[in-house]
Structures are given as C-alpha cells and as structure tokens.
Amino acid sequence: MMARIWHRLPLILALVVLAAVVVLSVVPALSAGALDQDIMLSTALPDADHPLGTDALGRDVLKLTLAGARTAIIGPVTIALGAMAVGLVFGLTAAYVGGWVDWIISRVVELMLSLPTLLLAIVVAGVIGGGYWTNVLVFVILYAPYEVRLVRSGALAHINDPFLDAARLLELGPLRTLAFHLFPVIRPLVGAALFLDMSNALVSLSSLSFLGLGVSPQDADWGRQLSDARNLLFDNPYAAIAPGVAIIVTSIALNIVGDFITEQSEKAER
C-alpha cells in the first residue's frame, strides 16, 4: 500500500495543487484583502504579518499570489474547453466527411498553425487593447487548430473500423454516428489534451499579463505580479519568486494529470 502511494506521489501532489488552485479561485474569501495597499509598507521583507513580504504598492505577496489563482484557472479552463469544442466540430467533420471538406479544413488549420501563436496574440492584444477576456478569446481561436488536427488524426485512426460501417448499415445519421460512435473512442485523447492545453494556456496568459497586455494593473494575476516585481528583485525577491513558482507548479501539476489520463487510456485500450 505504501509502495503504491509512493509510486503515485507525483500524481497525488499534482491533484492536491490543482484542488488548492480551484478552491482558491472559487472562494474569494480565502484571499480577502489581497489588493489592500499600504504605501507605508512598500517593498518590505518577510515578517510575521507578511510571510512573503510586500510589493511596491505595499500589498501582501502571499495573499496576492493566492488571489492570483483565480485568473490562473478560469482563463486556461475556458481556453482549453473552447478550443476543444471548435476542434471537435471541425476535426470530426474533416475525418468523417473527408474529401474536399477535409481538404479545406486541413489547409486552414495548416495556415493558422504556421502563425506564431504568442506573437499574434501580442499583436491582436496590442491593436484591440488587450484585457483578460480578450486574451482568452484570442487564445481559444489560436489553440483551436491544434485541437482540430489532434481530433482529426485521432478520429482517422478509427474511421475504417467495422463498427462505423455497422453504424452506416443501421442508417444512423452522421451526427448520431459522430456523437455516439466516433467521439467516445477518442474521448481519452480529448481528456489528456484538455489538461495539457490548460497548462500551455496558463503560461500563454501569464506571458501576456507579464507584457502588460492582460489584466488591469490593480488585479491579482501571476504574470502581472512577475512583471511588477522584476524591479524589486534586490529588495524583496519573494515578490517575484512566489508568482513564478505558482505558475511553474500549477502548470507541472496540469501536465502530470494529463500524463496520467493518457496512461490510463492507453491501458484501457489494451
């Protein structure tokens, strides 16, 4: 039993981290007062009241980091789900219909994949003004072609399976065939991809915030915090370390859970 827990330790830790992030983001009371400024206490080193010190505006770094969990989970989840929804619609259609429909979808996907994601996001955010939800929408669109390709190739692996022929022999409509026959067999793939995308989306969103194109300056956000704190490295390094560690730990946790799902689905296929 102990050996089993030890073997699964990374997964258990990852789930604990994700649970904590989720709880923090849905219960704002846990990080109440995170945005309270105390200019007199600007850039203080850790003490009993402020375990990680304060930032330039005198905000408590620990509370601010905990409050940042909100933007760290809502955006990535929206991006992953939104992009996957687009991916499922176009990916399954391309694989199932084939022919010129597949050709057009595949070429559009290739065109979009050839654009550098982050650079394009920066340009769009710069032109139309940025903001957290604008960024989320931009990333939904920019992540979608990856999902289309993933879903299409996953579905193509099964497109010649006899059970799909059997569905045609029962004269099931295409929508029913896609939803009840093709989608379930690629569901493990979709589950694994969702977590990996959340991890990527977290880093992407934080990058834009770091560049000042994300949340407004007074909101808690790990990317924003990193950006604000980079001038304070010699005064209170924890102001930069805390959000940095938070980003890394959360995104590793998402990766571990995604890996676990992949592993389980491979086992189930055998």
Partner 1 sequence: MSDKTVSPANAAASANVAAHVAANVAHAANDSGAAASPAVRVTGLHVTIGGKEIIHGVDLTIPRDATVAVVGESGSGKSVTAKTLSGLLPDRSDASGDYALFGEPINLEAGERAWRRLRGGTIVWLPQDPFSSLDPLRTCGRQIEDGLRSAGHVGSLPAQDVDNDRTVAASAGGSGNGGGAPAANGRGRLTKAQRRAAVERLLTDVGLAPAVYDAYPHELSGGMRQRVAIAAALAPDPRILIADEPTTALDASTQETVLDLLESLRSSRHMTLLLITHDLALAVERADHLVVFHGGQVVEEGGRDQVVHHPRSPYTRELLDAHTRLAVTDVPAFGDVVMRANHLRKTFAGSNVPAVADVSFDVRAGEILGLVGESGSGKSTVARCIVGLETPDSGNVVFTGNDGKPIGWSRGEAQLVFQNPYGSLNPTMTVRQTLTEALRVSGKPADDAAVRALVAKVGLEAELIDRKPGTLSGGQCQRVAIARALAPEPKLLVADEAVTALDANIQTHVLETLLELRSRLGLAMLFISHDLDTVRRIADRIAVMRHGRIVETGTTGQVMNHPQHDYVRALIAAMPPALD
- Judged by the rule CB under 8 A, the positions of this chain that interact with partner 1 are 161-163, 165-172, 180-181, 184-185, 187
Tell the smallest beta-carbon distance from residue 187 to partner 1 (Å). 8
Our CB check for partner 1 shows the closer of 2 and 169 to be 169
Least gap, CB of 197 to partner 1 (angstroms): 23
Distance CA 54, CA 162 (A): 63
What SS3 class is residue 60? strand
* Smallest separation (angstroms) from partner 1 to the CB of 162: 4
Would you say 205 and 71 are in contact if contact means Cβ atoms under 8 Å apart? yes
Measure the CA–CA gap between 249 and 222, rounded to whole angstroms: 12
Contact present, 57 and 236 (Cβ < 8 Å): no
Q: How far is the CB of 140 from partner 1 (least distance, A)?
A: 28
DSSP-based helix, strand, coil % in the chain, nearest 5: 75, 0, 25
Alpha-carbon distance values, 2 to 9, 63, 82 (Å): 10, 35, 40
- C-beta closer to partner 1: residue 152 or 181: 181
Task: Report the distance separating Cα 51 and Cα 3, nearest Å.
Answer: 35
Burial 222-243 (b: 16+ CB within 10 A, else e): bbbbbbbbeebeebbebbbbbb
Q: Give min distance, CB of 156 to partner 1, in A.
A: 16
Cβ pair 226, 242 in contact under 8 A: no
Nearer to partner 1, 177 or 209 (CB): 177
Return the number of the residue (220 or 261) whose C-beta is nearest partner 1.
Answer: 261
Q: Which two tokens stand for residue 218?
A: 């007074």
CA 10, 241, 140, 117 torsion-angle sign: negative
- Residue 32, classed as helix, strand or coil, is coil
Nearer to partner 1 among residue 26 and residue 175 (C-beta): 175
Q: How far is the CB of 6 from partner 1 (least distance, A)?
A: 19
Cβ 93 to partner 1 shortest distance, Å: 20
Q: Which one, 182 or 198, has the nearer CB to partner 1?
A: 182
Q: Which residue has the tokens 């650079």?
A: 119
Nearer to partner 1, 129 or 184 (CB): 184
